[in-house]
Amino acid sequence: MFFFTFFFHMFFLQRVHPSSHLKELESVKDKPVTRKRARDCETREDDGCATKQLRLNECVAGQVSQQKFDTLLTNLVVKGFHPLSFVEQEEFRLFVEGTCLGLNIMSRRTLGQRIEDAHSGLLRSLTGTLGEQKFVCLTADVWSTSTESFMGVTAHWIAVDTMERGSAALACRRFSGSHSLDRVADIIHDIWLEFKLPVEKIVGTVTDNAANFCKAFKKFGIQVTDEEECSIDVTVECIHNLRPVLSRHIRCTCHKLSLIATSDVRKAMKPNTPCDHYHTAVIEKCAKYWGSSKRPKSAEVVKAVLGKQLSNPCVTRWNSLYEAICHVLQNRERLPELRERIDLPICHVLQNRERLPELRERIDLPVIKDSELDFLEDYAEMLKPISTALDRFQGSKSSYYGELLPTLLAVRSKLKKAIDSCKTLAPTLLAVRSKLKKAIDSCKTLAILPIGTAVIDGFEKRFRTILDLEEEDAVIAAVSHPFLKCCWLPPASHCKPDALLLEAAEECLGGTAPSFTETCDSAKDDAFFDFTSQCASQSGDQLQAYQVKLEVLKYMDDRRVDISMLHDYPVVKAVFLRYNTNLCSSAPVERLFPVANLILRPA
């Protein structure tokens, strides 16, 4: 930090005061050592430490070899998203020559070759890592700009030894041509072949609800998660060539939840209804406050009044809209002050009388009534379970597929409680409004009721098969999770999950169990009890089934909830790895595209 500050000041002085920067340098050189620094030097000398402060070239050039320097420079260019021409910049060359004496800077062509070699080595290492895993889950999505499209694919797995989740980006590949279902299937299949991933190892591929993905996996996939129809009809063409085989398809849960909060709610808001009036008017007013954080002058006032800027929602992310509404509600008491301080000064208004309507539209903030803020609070409280579930599903490091079913059941329970409270107040409010002829401003519960009804109806429709326990993979994944097991179900409903876990354990164990025929040798010690023939007739499969059932019973009775306890139950551990490797969301591949945008920028 000292050297950075020193060189920065020297560079600044040389440009601004060229005649005085040498005097500044001489004064620094001739400055005597202070007593505190001298005392520190004496203390270090007593401890046997070196008392001489090394120069910058001495401490760098004496410790860094040419090979290490080349490696560090390559990492700097790659991880810093710098262009290859970075090594040819005059300022960078002067910096290296002044600080790293005796080291050579590689050329642009050499740097490109080193990056290609490092990329090839990384692909070989990643291919080996994926080959060591028993099960792998993939996420895939298509990202489009104004001129180009790209296919992104990420891989996720759970390490057998540490039970920790690992992940890697497999591809961000140019997707030319139309996004038809056969092109989607071909590109995904080519990526599998590149990393030598057999379809048997891939337990699932998570995508959004786009029609091309849904149709591709329905035509070429092993299994489809549910029978929900795609929103867009796509014509399926006959393909006479060798067809690619895709894995089981899992639709992104976060995408479904976002559709509930957007599409399903929008359908419920009919024109000229209380819900439509409240929702449209309040969101438009909030948009003015959110926009004030985007303009330089008004943003300064927002920062001064609220202490920070208001969050701006993203068009494609409903959760960002929810967070922006919550941010407005958190600053509810300060909104009047913000509105007063952000209004135009009267002198500025008089100078721009012709543009007064335009200026007021751009800068003045509307008054949000208390009833409208109450409506926003009810809206936020109604949709809070969905927002919480989105945050849980989008965490890829500690997220397991077993959390899907318990989380959805918890969301349904909370949504029903919220809608029941609204239905309880609705008849009273209707009677009050009919008698007193009051506006809907005093009946905010009537406005939020259609939204709550649309949310719960859409939730039941989109997750019907999972909520009815028809999705067996989700049930097995939840029961094999030590923290969950069957606690998310009432005791009367434990029979089906227990049976599914036992069946999955027997399937995962396969024929690896040892022979148990030696257990009948004790019968030979007494000729009176001659049951050798009956004992021998018992097959190894039966004894193996008894062992599996005993282990499952012990696992269900174990009170430990940490994942590491699965090491004591190898059969259940195999089930956990098989059914919990999948993710509930395609968020990891969506996070890949902003990084790709930095890499593919014109610079």
Using the 8-state DSSP alphabet, how is residue 81 labeled?
T
3-state SS, residue 7: helix
| Residue 47: pLDDT over 80 | no
Q: Report which of residues 6 and 300 the model is more confident about.
A: 300
519 burial class (0-12, 13-18, 19+ CB within 10 angstroms)?
exposed
Alpha-carbon span 451 to 374, nearest angstrom: 15
C-alpha distance from residue 243 to each of 187, 212, 222, 266, 507 (Å): 12, 16, 12, 40, 29
Tens of pLDDT, residue by residue over 587-599, are 999 888 776 565 5
Mean pLDDT, residues 467-495: 91
Tens of pLDDT, residue by residue over 143-191, are 887 788 889 999 999 999 999 999 999 998 888 888 888 888 889 999 9
Mean pLDDT, residues 10-29: 42
Q: Cα-Cα-Cα-Cα dihedral of 581, 586, 590, 592, to 10°?
A: 20
Tens of pLDDT, residue by residue over 238-272, are 333 446 778 899 999 999 999 999 999 888 877 76
Q: Cα-Cα-Cα-Cα dihedral of 318, 322, 324, 329, to 10°?
A: 170
Domain residue extents for the chain: 54-127, 133-252+586-599, 259-465, 488-520+532-580
Of the spans 58-67, 307-316, 345-354, 361-370, which averages the highest pLDDT? 307-316
Q: Cα-Cα-Cα-Cα dihedral of 430, 434, 435, 436, to 10°?
A: 90
| Residue 43: pLDDT over 50 | no
Supply the mean pLDDT for the chain: 78
Q: Report which of residues 349 and 282 the model is more confident about.
A: 282
What is the model's pTM? Answer: 0.76
Q: Report which of residues 225 and 333 the model is more confident about.
A: 333
| pLDDT value of position 343 | 62
Residue tagged 């985007």 (tokens): 294
Residues 479 and 501: beta-carbon distance below 8 Å: yes
| Residue 207: pLDDT over 70 | yes
Which residues, at least 6 apart from 275, have a Cβ–Cβ distance to it below 8 Å?
A: 268, 269, 447, 448, 449, 450, 451
Residues 566 and 572: beta-carbon distance below 8 Å: yes
Q: 377-386, 432-441, 475-484: lowest mean pLDDT where?
A: 432-441
Query: How many C-beta atoms lie closer than 10 Å to residue 456's C-beta?
Result: 20
Mean pLDDT, residues 289-316: 88
| Residue 127: pLDDT over 90 | yes
Instruction: Look up the CATH number of domain 133-252+586-599.
Output: 3.30.420
Residues 464 and 543: beta-carbon distance below 8 Å: no
Q: 426-440, 486-500, 561-575: lowest mean pLDDT where?
A: 426-440
